[in-house]
Amino acid sequence: TRVSGTSNGGGGGGGGDDYRQLVQFALSASSALKIQKGDITEWSVDGASDAIVNAANERMLGGGGVDGAIHRAAGPELRAACHDVPEVRPGVRCPTGEARITPAFRLPVSHVIHTVGPIYDVDRHPEDSLRSAYRSCLTLAKENNIMYIAFPAISCGVYGYPYAEAATVAISTVKEFAEDFKEVHLVLFLDELYNIWLEKARELL
Ligand code: AR6
């Protein structure tokens, strides 16, 4: 159910929502899924318990893509906080499909939830792993009383997950948590990805 084309939730730096092309779908009577273009490091909801998700790797000490952008914007304190996350085995702080939470430091949100999606061509069950990554983030967010959460397209960059298949996993998993959040945002950096995910949402919601 498409509810409307605009909203005042999320985003940073003021201005209207038009440039983000924000489209809103109802998940339940009191919650919405919002799809928009943009840079997730600028996303926040004023005065609310909010978090962004980082598409990290198992070491959890930064990297390229959205991970690099988040670490640059959060400042060196984020790397230190990640370093403090205990290793579950040598070099692994967050196994694929799991999630860990840290403060967000210089970012405008209160927390960063770090997750690790599958490397599409290497993982033997990429769909299960991707679903598990989304579920782990949403579960951890819920445990921390986060009401507003924004995801990037986990695994859709260097990890090579096909865009449409990833959208199906993301949207269907978010739907399972419809009652638990006020707003779930999908913040998509690339036009092509945004167009495909929006089409998928119209199909599934
Ligand atoms: N805001 C929102 N989305 C972004 C941003 C941004 N600022 N920057 C990039 N994206 P990727 P992965 C999009 O490669 O595939 C890292 O090195 C990007 O266009 O960041 O899960 C980690 O350390 C793409 O659509 O993550 C890991 O080693 C999406 O974010 C590895 O990459 C995800 O692309 C994880 O690979």
Evaluate if residue 2 carries a pLDDT over 70. Answer: no
> Higher model confidence: residue 18 or residue 48?
48
Give the confidence band of 12 by pLDDT, cuts at 50, 70, 90. very low
The Cα 143–Cα 95 span in angstroms is 19
The Cα 60–Cα 180 span in angstroms is 27
Please identify, by atom number, the ligand 1 atom nearest to the C-alpha of residue 62.
Answer: 23
* pLDDT tens-place string over residues 138-160: 999 999 999 999 999 999 999 99
Helix (H, G, I), strand (E, B) or coil at 72: helix
Evaluate if residue 11 carries a pLDDT over 50. Answer: no
Evaluate if residue 8 carries a pLDDT over 60. Answer: no
Task: Output the residue whose Cα is nearest ligand 1's atom 3.
Answer: 189
Give the confidence band of 161 by pLDDT, cuts at 50, 70, 90. very high
Task: Output the residue whose Cα is nearest ligand 1's atom 10.
Answer: 66
What spacing in Å lies between the alpha carbon of 29 and ligand 1's midpoint? Answer: 32
Evaluate if residue 171 carries a pLDDT over 80. Answer: yes
The answer to whether 53 touches 151, Cβ cutoff 8 Å, is yes
Stated length of the chain? 205
* pLDDT tens-place string over residues 84-122: 999 999 999 999 999 999 999 999 999 999 999 999 999
pLDDT score of 19:
80
Evaluate if residue 14 carries a pLDDT over 80. Answer: no
Give the mutation target among 158, 187, 192 for probing the ligand 1 site: most ligand atoms within 8 A of CB. Answer: 158
What spacing in Å lies between the alpha carbon of 158 and ligand 1's midpoint? Answer: 7
Residues framing ligand 1 (Cβ under 6 A): 39-41, 55-57, 63-67, 69, 117, 152-159, 187, 189-190, 193
pLDDT score of 5:
45
What spacing in Å lies between the alpha carbon of 179 and ligand 1's midpoint? Answer: 28
Q: Name the residue among 40, 117, 38 with its Cα closest to residue 71.
A: 40
Please identify, by atom number, the ligand 1 atom nearest to the C-alpha of residue 161.
Answer: 15
Has the ipTM of the complex gone over 0.95? yes
Question: Where is average pLDDT lowest: 9-18, 79-88, 111-120?
Answer: 9-18
Give the confidence band of 10 by pLDDT, cuts at 50, 70, 90. very low
Q: How many CA atoms lie within 13 A of 20 on its CB side?
A: 28
What is the pLDDT averaged over residues 181-205?
98
Evaluate if residue 70 carries a pLDDT over 50. Answer: yes
Residue 128 annotated among the catalytic residues of the structure: no
What spacing in Å lies between the alpha carbon of 88 and ligand 1's midpoint? Answer: 23
Q: How many CA atoms lie within 13 A of 69 on its CB side?
A: 14
Candidate list 17, 50, 67, 123, residue with the active-site label: 67
